[in-house]
Structure 1
Amino acid sequence: MAKLEIRNLSRAFGSTRAVDDVSLTVADGELVCLLGPSGSGKSTLLRMMGGFERPSAGSIFIDGQDVTEIPPERRPTGMVFQSHALWTHMDVFGNVAFGLKLRRQARHEIQRRAEAALEMVGLAGYGKRRPNELSGGQQQRVALARSLVLEPKILLLDEPFASLDQHLRERLREEVRDIQHRAGITMVFVTHGQDEALALADRIAIMRDGRLEQIGRPDTIYRQPKTEFVAGFIGQMNLLAGEVRQGTLAASGISLPVSLDEGLATLAIRPEDISLQKAIGEDGAVVHRVTDFGTHLSVELRTLQGLRLKAMTEPAQGWVAGMYASVHPRKFSVYRDGRLCALTAQTSGIELPAKSQQLEPA
């Protein structure tokens, strides 16, 4: 196991700062996911950790040793890329054993460690197969075994499952988590998939425009996003522009009591934090669209002001398009200038204008 420290790391390409003054510590045996949209700098940051990109400024330490100027082959790190990058002229065993041969390990040691690595990734007995005889998921497991066999202190993974289908991604990420627990290895995993980060990580580091937006446990990131960007990026969120006046936040027909100074603000409500009740006549919001996911219904609503809301309910509630509903949030948060300024656990409800008319589908 190993501790990784990133201190004020930056990487500029001309006038563009792909990574801008990032500091991050990854503890022994911890799995940290770097999460963010395309162009946020997460892959560039990972490549600097592995020595494949040279920082413009800052330092990288592993177990207290400065490795900033050390080339990739001499760092105690392993790298798994999005492309499998397997050698097609070698069989699976040869691909996994290649790094050990370069290190001039004894033949019996190469045999033992390569077989152990293949068994760890669930490919025992596949050593004589060629890469083109394997599925995409199996090829990615070979790439993982090729890194693990070198016994790196830190394993770096750059969106390794991006090219795989959803079902296979879910299965492999569970296996990676199991391997990480068994091996006790420190991992940094780059992804743009929210579900992947929430399922895998001990902590998530969300990046935006080369900077770290928020770092924390998955449950904290989801339930207490510190910025409006994180609130909108993680999971589904209803983000509504509004204004605070005399202790009330008004946002597109919604009114809520808040203890904030007057001024512009953004109201944020998760779909699962909205409770729906059938409205009498045409009071409330109109149900525009309902999607049945089996475990729950996703209900899209519209108000007279054109506000669109998404709520999550149990299937048994039987919502259908054209019905009217009163909307009651169990929890909401408020952002001002992009930063969290209020978080409320319970509310008495949302005031919606009465006699909302039927709206035409979009």
Structure 2
Amino acid sequence: MSQLTLKNLGKSFDETDVIHDVSLDVADGELVCLLGPSGSGKSTILRMVGGFEPPDRGSIIIGDHDVTHVPPERRPTGMVFQSHALWSHMSVAENIAFGLKLRRLSRADIREKVTNVLKLVGLDGYGARRVWQLSGGQQQRVAIARALVLEPKILLLDEPFASLDQHLRERLREELRDIQRRLGITTLFVTHGQDEALSLADRIVVLKSGKIEQVASPDRMYRDPQTRFVAGFIGSMNFIACDIRNGYADHPLFPIAVPVSDGPVELAIRPEALSIRPDTNSPARIHRTTDYGTHILVDITMPDGVRLKAMCPPSSAYKAGQPVALSADNVAIFRGEEKLATITPVASRSLTHA
């Protein structure tokens, strides 16, 4: 396989920059997810790598070759689209074989390669079927097989499971990850789903407005977000506004020592890092509880109207309206988009004792 390198990649539409000097290295055999909200530029980057969208600035290098101006049919890439892009008048085998025929391979070689890739994606024996006879998940497997049969150096996937139901989406992404590891193929995967990125990726690239916010492994991205945007975008996060005065957070619940300069900040606390306990003297009240089986998510209303979420064991017996005191195991401190510090552990006081 091969390494993918993006150097200062830029793109503009109608004189508006949509991709701003994006640089990224994807190692040989690595699966990297481009993650971000709609309009963040993730699909545009993928299309530029595949040759379907020309960059205005920068370069794209695959292995030792600059492919920036190479047309898509001559790039060592395979693309899988969200819409499958299969031909309904062709059989499954004919869809998969189309690119091989363009390369003028022999019928025997084409037959062998199609048979092997159908087995790889779990569709052995489906070659003679028409596309319209397949389920959505089977159609997506065909689209993946059509890309893989060309033996690309770089596999590109643009939200391939977005149109599928949750259970099928989870199963297919596990299968895809198994195939990717078995083949050792370098993969760039676009998604707007956090769970998908966290479960699939070796590394995640979070994009916002055409710029890279952070590049990190899934565990690092979740546990150590470097910007306020990433902290709020990845997983669930409680944000509490307060001021730092004389080295302490001026908040009745978390009057913690913070090694940053005085001024306004936000305390960021994950629901699983927020603990609650019954306290009849506390003005914080439970708004509602949601039982997810594996845990209970408790919504808490603070006296100033701010809502917080706490993740509790499934055996918890909290009820709406119940007063509770709170404490946190880990607090990140943000000023604007900049992360200033992480405080752990944190012992907090009851609101009534502040």
Name the TM-score, length of structure 2 as normaliser: 0.98
Question: What CA deviation, in whole Å up to 9, does each residue of 1:324-359 have, x standing for no partner?
Answer: 11101011100113111111220112542469xxxx
Q: Distance in 2 between matches of 1:133 and 1:263?
A: 63
- Contact 1:157/1:189 (CA < 8 Å) preserved in 2? yes
Is the alpha carbon distance of 1:233 and 1:251 closer, same or farther for their aligned partners in structure 2, counting shifts above 3 Å? farther
Q: Which amino acid aligns with 2:138?
A: Q
Is the alpha carbon distance of 1:144 and 1:156 closer, same or farther for their aligned partners in structure 2, counting shifts above 3 Å? same
- Contact 1:244/1:265 (CA < 8 Å) preserved in 2? yes
Q: Determine the structure 2 residue equivalent to 1:337.
A: 336
Is the alpha carbon distance of 1:284 and 1:46 closer, same or farther for their aligned partners in structure 2, counting shifts above 3 Å? same
| Structure 2 unaligned regions, length at least 5 | none
Q: Determine the structure 1 residue equivalent to 2:285.
A: 286
Q: Distance in 2 between matches of 1:234 and 1:148?
A: 30
Q: Distance in 1 between matches of 2:96 and 2:247?
A: 64
Q: Determine the structure 1 residue equivalent to 2:270.
A: 270
Q: Distance in 1 between matches of 2:254 and 2:224?
A: 22
- Contact 2:4/2:27 (CA < 8 Å) preserved in 1? yes
Q: What is the Cα-based RMSD across aligned positions, in Å?
A: 1.3
Q: Tell me by how many angstroms 1:323 deviates.
A: 1.0
| Structure 1 unaligned regions, length at least 5 | 356-362
**Secondary structure of 1:147's partner?**
helix
Q: Distance in 1 between matches of 2:209 and 2:175?
A: 31
> Is 1:219 the counterpart of 2:213 in the alignment?
no
- Map 1:1-362 onto structure 2 (within 5 A): 1-251=1-251, 254-279=254-279, 281-353=280-352
Q: Tell me by how many angstroms 1:304 deviates.
A: 1.4
- Contact 2:10/2:19 (CA < 8 Å) preserved in 1? yes
**Count of aligned pairs between the two proteins:** 354
**Secondary structure of 1:235's partner?**
coil
Q: Distance in 1 between matches of 2:328 and 2:321?
A: 21
Q: Which amino acid aligns with 1:11?
A: K
**Secondary structure of 2:250's partner?**
strand
Q: Distance in 1 between matches of 2:70 and 2:349?
A: 58
Q: Which amino acid aligns with 1:135?
A: S
Q: Tell me by how many angstroms 1:157 deviates.
A: 0.2
Q: Tell me by how many angstroms 1:319 deviates.
A: 1.0
- Contact 2:268/2:333 (CA < 8 Å) preserved in 1? yes
Q: Tell me by how many angstroms 1:98 deviates.
A: 0.8
- Contact 2:33/2:189 (CA < 8 Å) preserved in 1? yes
User: Which one is further off, 23-32 or 235-244?
Assistant: 235-244
- Contact 1:254/1:351 (CA < 8 Å) preserved in 2? no
Q: Tell me by how many angstroms 1:257 deviates.
A: 2.2
Q: Tell me by how many angstroms 1:15 deviates.
A: 2.4
Q: Which amino acid aligns with 2:325?
A: S
Identity level (%): 56
- Contact 1:82/1:159 (CA < 8 Å) preserved in 2? yes
Q: Distance in 2 between matches of 1:251 and 1:70?
A: 57
- Contact 1:238/1:270 (CA < 8 Å) preserved in 2? yes
Q: Distance in 2 between matches of 1:252 and 1:147?
A: 57
- Contact 2:93/2:127 (CA < 8 Å) preserved in 1? yes
- Contact 2:253/2:349 (CA < 8 Å) preserved in 1? no
Q: Determine the structure 2 residue equivalent to 1:359.
A: none
Runs of 4+ in 1 over 6 A off after TM superposition: none
